[in-house]
A and B are shown apart, each in its own frame.
Chain A
Amino acid sequence: MRRRELAVILNQSVNRPGTIIWILLAGVGSIYAAGGAKASFHFGEPEEKLLAESDALDRQFEKDGLIYRDTQADALLNRVGQRLNAVSPVPDRVAYRFHILRDPMINAFALANGSIYVNTGLIAVMHNESQFAAVLAHEITHVVNRHEFELNRSIRKKSLALNIVALVGPAVPVGGAFGASLSAAATLSQVVVVATVYGYSRELEQEADDQGFARLTKAQYDGSAMPQALQLLDEKIEYEPVEPFWRTHPKLVARIASAQKLASGEHTESPATVSDNDYLAQMRGVIRYSIEEDLQNRRARTAVARAQRLVDWQPNDALNESLLADAYRGLGAKTPQPEPAESTRAGIKDDRTMMLKRTAAEEQEVLLAKPEGPAALAANRSRAEADYIKAIGEDPQLADAHRGLGSLYEDEGKREQAAAEYRQYLKLAAPNAVDRLRIERRIGALEGAPGAPAK
């Protein structure tokens, strides 16, 4: 069943998914006592099945290699999570576990069994611990208030021929890492997919915002972090094939206004002192990883923005500088910032076509054919070279910078220089570096017959 058919059944505006009216969940909001979970909750067969699905999904994410592990990031995630959980008793049959998922989509979600997942894309867009806590507080509220069980019951009650795997297709049409967590979830749990893409209901999402805010302030975080976090979610750097409900439903502007009203009315006594610096220090591994993820998924503009943030934070860090160079090289003939024409309907449609129907190489051909294309390419390459050289100046032993510079020279047809940088990379890289064979082959191609294609 395609999105349009689902939208008709759910009385949803197809063009504006943020205005969903969930007939399915009418009246559900009233069953929740203000401020928290229901007094008792009955676990029938559907609930047991959902818990089993949640456990299976935990295993599947692990099996698919989607869990990202970083000592510092995991420590922060768990510390914040436990601090928020301490505000209220743990519901029955819930064991809170916090994980980071390898997925550039700006998203977080919770399972009925208490597993809470935050995508690398979302971590990279937050600025400090309080904003990060605001996101977690929202998700924890979904768990405490059993929202997933309610959604599950509603989906099961209606005779909708939902083929969740088919539903995910239009939602995450490009494959790749973007939305990978959603694609994995589609094989096991329709509830996660529906909740992520369409949200629970306006009422339940508002409840999660309101009670999440209360949890946030009770945990001694500054309440103003919630509207700040929502504003950061409204990032519009490049076309995304799917926007989870987080950013559309209820309309994000209305949610931000609602959160600002809450924040202006309630003040946390002695809120925790948090700094952007501390957050970046603990999450830099994730942010660096997310830059590489973005580059592999044709999100070079996002990679530039993330890398620039790291460079602004620590200007003399060679690895940050090298990542910024990678990002500029990844742009090719694309400008670092969207052009005004790209924000129009026609522009968005063009971006969608480019992402869904053209390969990366074809996209670059189209960009180069435009009058400004060659100039943009030259500027990006020049910037990348300068950043690589700066990184190498800061740390001559940084293998990645030599590899990046080698790739740049190879792109430019400078075969000897490229081979020299690649050789330097192999000298500096670990003996068991996973890309050793790849670089050796590139050197072989560069030093092979004249005119032979390098890569």
Chain B
Amino acid sequence: MGCGLALAEDSTTLNEHFAASKTPVHKICILPVGATLSKVSMKGGEPMTKESEDWRPKVDRMVVDAFSSAGATVVSDYSSDAVTDAVRQAMVELQQKYSGLLAQMRKRGSEVRKGVASLGDEVALLPCAAEADALIFAGASGSLQTGARKTVQFVAGGLMGFTSFRSDLWMALVSARSGDVDALGHIELIGSEKFATDPEAAYGKALRRQLAKMHVGEAGKK
């Protein structure tokens, strides 16, 4: 019961000061991308462990490629394991702080616009902050349905049944200097499983649109 329906929404919220300054972002540091898949079957939802482990590097690669093709230089990609314990711990704590901040930004987008959403100068704990313009925090999640569940959904809900496929990609561009969230992007896909097999095809276009709004790779442009 395949279906080509794929509704996509994407939103980009910019810090007003960042938007007004039009400061280019051309050196970035990417923190490990979080990516989790879950399955919804007739018995209920459950995590997809192996699939998530396989999906994560694909999503990470997609994010790195999007920034590179936008003209940004990736100063550091912390998805590799080659970091010291101290840096790893700083990264973990920063990501935890970001997850708390994201929970609030998702409820109140105005925090990003007004420039009050910030990780503070803790961003300087990462060595790459010395060189980068921005740190990138990204995370994706998606839920898939089993064949039986798809059938039930379609029978019960008609075309609306396909809205149960869903994935979200959240990405924040954080100043490597002040720790302020300069931009927050959200892409939501409904009705297609493509994100699981080919994240580039599913997210790529929307992500590149967002990066353009975020002044990524605009070095030398006025």
B97 contacts A176, CB within 8 Å?
A: yes
Distance (whole angstroms) from the CB of A201 to the closest CB of chain B: 19
Comparing A132-140, A156-164, A226-234, A412-420, the segment that makes contact with chain B is A156-164
**B141 proximity list for chain A (CB < 8 A):** 165
**A161 proximity list for chain B (CB < 8 A):** 40, 44-45
**B88 proximity list for chain A (CB < 8 A):** 65
B36 contacts A175, CB within 8 Å?
A: no
* B147 contacts A by Cβ under 8 Å: no
A357 contacts B44, CB within 8 Å?
A: no
B49 contacts A163, CB within 8 Å?
A: no
**A189 proximity list for chain B (CB < 8 A):** 47
B52 contacts A187, CB within 8 Å?
A: yes
B45 contacts A441, CB within 8 Å?
A: no
A359 contacts B102, CB within 8 Å?
A: no
* A171 contacts B by Cβ under 8 Å: no
* A437 contacts B by Cβ under 8 Å: yes
* B5 contacts A by Cβ under 8 Å: no
**B44 proximity list for chain A (CB < 8 A):** 155-156, 158-162
* A174 contacts B by Cβ under 8 Å: yes
Give the interface SS of chain B, mostly helix, strand, loop or mixed: helix
A432 CA / B85 CA spacing, docked (Å): 12
Contact of B121 among A166, A186, A438 (CB under 8 A): A438
Distance (whole angstroms) from the CB of A449 to the closest CB of chain B: 16
- Known contacts A175-B100, A441-B124; is-contact A52 B49 (Cβ 8 Å): yes
B96 contacts A435, CB within 8 Å?
A: no
* Chain A: interface residue total (CB-CB under 8 A): 46
**B102 proximity list for chain A (CB < 8 A):** 175
* B219 contacts A by Cβ under 8 Å: no
* B89 contacts A by Cβ under 8 Å: yes
A188 CA / B116 CA spacing, docked (Å): 34
* A56 contacts B by Cβ under 8 Å: yes
Distance (whole angstroms) from the CB of A291 to the closest CB of chain B: 14
B104 contacts A359, CB within 8 Å?
A: yes
Contact of A164 among B46, B124, B130 (CB under 8 A): B46
Contact of B103 among A66, A173, A296 (CB under 8 A): A173
How does the 8 Å CB contact mask read for A396-437 relative to B, with 1 for contact and 0 for none? 000000000000000000000000000000000000101101
Q: Which residue of B lies closest to A186 (CB)?
A: B47
Contact of A357 among B43, B47, B104, B129 (CB under 8 A): B104
Q: Interface size for chain B: under 10, 10 to 19, 20 to 34, or 35 or more residues? A: 35 or more
* A259 contacts B by Cβ under 8 Å: no
Distance (whole angstroms) from the CB of A101 to the closest CB of chain B: 12
**B108 proximity list for chain A (CB < 8 A):** 357
Q: Which residue of B lies closest to A362 (CB)?
A: B116
A53 contacts B129, CB within 8 Å?
A: no
Chain A, 294-344, CB within 8 A of any chain B CB: 296-297
The residue among A52, A164, A190, A438 with the most chain B CB atoms within 10 A of its own CB is A438
A361 CA / B86 CA spacing, docked (Å): 27
* A145 contacts B by Cβ under 8 Å: no
Q: Which residue of B lies closest to A438 (CB)?
A: B124
Chain B, 90-118, CB within 8 A of any chain A CB: 90-93, 96-104, 107-108, 111, 116-117
Q: Which residue of B lies closest to A437 (CB)?
A: B124
Chain B, 143-176, CB within 8 A of any chain A CB: 143
Contact of A163 among B38, B124, B125 (CB under 8 A): B38
A434 CA / B83 CA spacing, docked (Å): 12
Distance (whole angstroms) from the CB of A434 to the closest CB of chain B: 5
* B120 contacts A by Cβ under 8 Å: yes
* A64 contacts B by Cβ under 8 Å: yes
**B212 proximity list for chain A (CB < 8 A):** none
* B87 contacts A by Cβ under 8 Å: yes
* A352 contacts B by Cβ under 8 Å: no
How does the 8 Å CB contact mask read for B26-43 relative to A, with 1 for contact and 0 for none? 000000000010101011
* A119 contacts B by Cβ under 8 Å: no
* A183 contacts B by Cβ under 8 Å: yes
B87 contacts A434, CB within 8 Å?
A: yes
A296 contacts B38, CB within 8 Å?
A: no
Distance (whole angstroms) from the CB of B195 to the closest CB of chain A: 15
The residue among A157, A158, A160, A441 with the most chain B CB atoms within 10 A of its own CB is A441
How does the 8 Å CB contact mask read for A181-218 relative to B, with 1 for contact and 0 for none? 00100111110000000000000000000000000000
Q: Which residue of A lies closest to B122 (CB)?
A: A438
Contact of A190 among B47, B87, B91, B124 (CB under 8 A): B47
**A159 proximity list for chain B (CB < 8 A):** 42-44
A174 CA / B102 CA spacing, docked (Å): 9
B38 contacts A66, CB within 8 Å?
A: no
**A455 proximity list for chain B (CB < 8 A):** 120-121
A180 CA / B93 CA spacing, docked (Å): 10
The residue among B97, B121, B127 with the most chain A CB atoms within 10 A of its own CB is B121
**B104 proximity list for chain A (CB < 8 A):** 356-357, 359
**B107 proximity list for chain A (CB < 8 A):** 357
A176 contacts B130, CB within 8 Å?
A: no
* A442 contacts B by Cβ under 8 Å: yes
Chain B, 76-90, CB within 8 A of any chain A CB: 86-90
Chain A residues within CB distance 8 Å of chain B: 52-53, 56, 64-66, 102, 155-166, 173-177, 180, 183, 186-190, 296-297, 356-357, 359, 361-362, 432, 434-435, 437-438, 441-442, 455
- Supply 19 further A-B pairs (C-beta < 8 A) apart from A161-B40, A437-B124: A52-B49, A64-B92, A102-B92, A159-B44, A162-B45, A163-B40, A164-B46, A165-B36, A175-B98, A175-B99, A175-B102, A176-B97, A189-B47, A359-B104, A362-B116, A435-B124, A438-B124, A442-B121, A455-B120
Q: What are 6 sample pairs from A and B whose C-beta atoms fall under 8 A apart? A: A64-B92, A161-B40, A174-B103, A176-B96, A187-B47, A434-B87
Top 5 A-B residue pairs of the complex, sorted by shortest distance between their CB atoms: A175-B99, A175-B100, A176-B100, A438-B124, A65-B92
